[in-house]
Amino acid sequence: MADFDHLHDYDGGAAPVVGKARDYAAGGVSPRHAHPTAQLLYAVEGVMMVTTDQGRWIVPPTRGIWLPIATWHQVNMLSRVRMRTVYVRGDALAGLPAECCVLAVSPLLRELIQAATGIAVPYPPDSRAERVMRLILDEIRSLPSLALSLPQPASAALDQLCRQLLSHPGDARGVAEWAAQAAMDPRTLQRRFQRETGLSFGQWRRQARLIAALERLARGASVLEVALDLGYASPSAFSTMFKRELGASPSAFFDVS
């Protein structure tokens, strides 16, 4: 845990917005923890998997994850990660997201975050430092949120089913077969999925496959390997799905050049 001893070694009170930089080796896993501030968790290099009580997120360098105050979370470093985090105090949260979400990080915000990590706190009012921090908040308010989360069901029956789907994301069985395994009729399964996760069974499974694909691509697997493992007929079919869901090809999604 030595690499993570710093988790609470940051100033959450001396300024409304604070930037911190930290690098991690591939395979590192933070202990489950929370902060007394909100947090924009971002990496200028590398890919993270962030798990909260609300779900699981994949965070490549083109994206950041917003974590509200006191959100318990764990971070898995899927590759070497150069993390650049912005902490936001409670009195500066007006207009910012109230729930966990993945945000598309603009080139401007990327540069502002890097600048923030070099700013010492406290900083004088109406100084360049304060203006940089205010602009960071303006940028966060303007960013679109993205569907890269995987909400977890509350009931034991659906939780067990979801664990199986996560373990074998390429399993091609239909909803009727999964419902029979869970001792439900298909309509009941669909209703419960919608009620507990906000997604239909099919939507949840597609999201699970997408997140599994992102995790494997981040660890260095080829598009061909991922496509076949997840049950797609060809790499082109997988890439078409990927671009439809995320707006970019697999290679472009991870590219920050």
pLDDT for 32 equals 92
Domains 2-146 and 152-253 agree in fold: no
Strand (E) positions, 10-54? 17-24, 38-45, 48-52
pLDDT for 110 equals 94
Residue 79 corresponds to which amino acid? S
Q: Compute the distance between CA of residue 227 and CA of residue 69 in angstroms, rounded to an integer.
A: 37
pLDDT for 1 equals 45
Assess if CATH 3.30.70.100 describes domain 2-146: no
pLDDT for 141 equals 93
Q: Compute the distance between CA of residue 33 and CA of residue 52 in angstroms, rounded to an integer.
A: 10
State the architecture of 152-253 in CATH terms: Orthogonal Bundle (1.10)
pLDDT for 19 equals 95
pTM (predicted TM-score): 0.69
Cβ–Cβ < 8 Å for 59, 47: yes
CA atoms within 13 A on the CB side of 222: 6
Domain boundaries, the chain: 2-146, 152-253
pLDDT for 231 equals 83
Q: Compute the distance between CA of residue 182 and CA of residue 173 in angstroms, rounded to an integer.
A: 13
**Residue ranges in the chain modelled with pLDDT below 50:** 1-2
